Amino acid sequence: MMKVIYHIGKTIGFDTIAKKGIIKVDTQPIMIESKEGNLVLNDLKCVDLIKVNGLGTMIKVQNSSDIIYIAVPRIFIEIGTGFIIVNFFATKKLYIRINKEWRNQL
The architecture that CATH gives domain 2-105 is Roll (2.30)
Instruction: Give pLDDT tens digits for 24-76.
Output: 998 888 999 999 999 999 999 999 999 988 778 999 999 989 999 999 999 88
This model's pTM is above 0.85:
yes
For 82-91, b where at least 16 C-beta lie within 10 A, e where not — what string? eebebbeebb
Q: Is the pLDDT of residue 13 over 80?
A: yes
- Tell me what pLDDT residue 3 has: 95
Instruction: Give pLDDT tens digits for 63-98.
Output: 989 999 999 999 888 777 778 889 999 999 999 999
Going from N- to C-terminal start, the domains of the chain cover 2-105
Residues 6+ apart with CB under 8 A from 57: 49, 50, 51, 71, 86, 88, 91, 92
